[in-house]
Copies of this chain bind each other. A is one copy, B any other.
Amino acid sequence: MAAEQKRGTLVIIGGAEDREGDCTVLREFIRCSGGMKARIAVMTAATGHPQAVGNDYIKIFKRLGAESVDLVHTPSRQDSECDVAIGIIEQATGIFFTGGDQSRIVDFIKGSPLCDAIRKQHEAGTVVGGTSAGAAMMPDQMIVGGASVSNPSIDAVSMGPGMGFLPGIVIDQHFAQRGRLGRLLAALVLEPAVLGLGIDEDTAIIVNGDEFKVVGRGGITVADESTATHNNLEGLLKDEAIAICGVKLHILPHGYRFNLSTREPLL
C-alpha cells in the first residue's frame, strides 16, 4: 500500500524578513523544505525587479545551505506555459514567492500550466512559501490593496481572488508595522471568511494541516469574526465607518500554536 500523501507545509511571511542577521524566518522555510537537501524555486512574478529580488534570495538560500536555488521569472502570463519553469517546479522541494504586487501573481500564474504544476507538487508534499505579496495571495479571497492606518470602511480594502493555498482565511501582511487592523476587519465583514490573520514583518506562520506555529520577531494577530454579534454592513455606503461587535482577538508571538479548525490557540 502506498504511503499516504501529505500536502506540503505553507510558510507565510509578513514581509521584510531578516536576510542578514539570524534569518529566523527564512531559515525555517529552508529547514521545512529539506534543509541541506532543499531544492528551491524562487517565483518572482510579484516584483517588477525580478532579477535583483531573485538574486537576493539565491544569495541567502545558498548561504543557509540549500542544495539548489533556481529563479522562475514570469513577467507575463505566457511565461507560465514554459516547460523549463515547469521542470524547475517538478524538481523543487520548496517554492518561494517574493514580495511585490499580489495581483501580478494571480494575473500571471493562476490557472496556467505552471500553476497546475505548483498545485500538484504542493499536494504531493512540496513546501510553498511566500513573503508580503507572496503571503497575501495564499487565501482563496485575498486582500488586493487598501488603506493602512485607517478605521474599517468598505473603501479601506479591495478584495479579489487569491491562489487558494489556504482557503477560508483572510491574510494581511506588514500588519502592525502598517497599522492594518482596520482593513483586515473590513475584509472580514465584506467576505464570508471568518478568520483573519495579520502577519507582522519578519514573522511567519508555518501551516501544517489544521495547525500553524509562529516564528519570528513580531506577532500574528488573529481576528475571529465567528463570535461577532453585530455589524452594520447592510445599507452602509462606501466611505462610511464599519461597526463590528464581539470579534475575538489573539496576539501570538514566536513559538505559539493555533488550530485553524477550532479557531483556538493551543496553550
Contacts and interface: CB of A to CB of B under 8 A. Distances in A.
A25 interface: no
A265 to B, nearest CB: 5
A82 interface: no
B230 A265 contact: yes
A252 interface: yes
A253 interface: yes
A139 interface: no
The quantity of this chain's copies bound in the complex is 2
Interface residues of A, number: 42
Interface string A168-179: 000000011111
A243 to B, nearest CB: 5
| Most B CB within 10 A of own CB, among A229, A241, A245 | A241
Interface of A: 148-152, 175-182, 185, 200, 217-219, 221, 223, 227, 229-230, 232, 240-254, 256, 265, 267
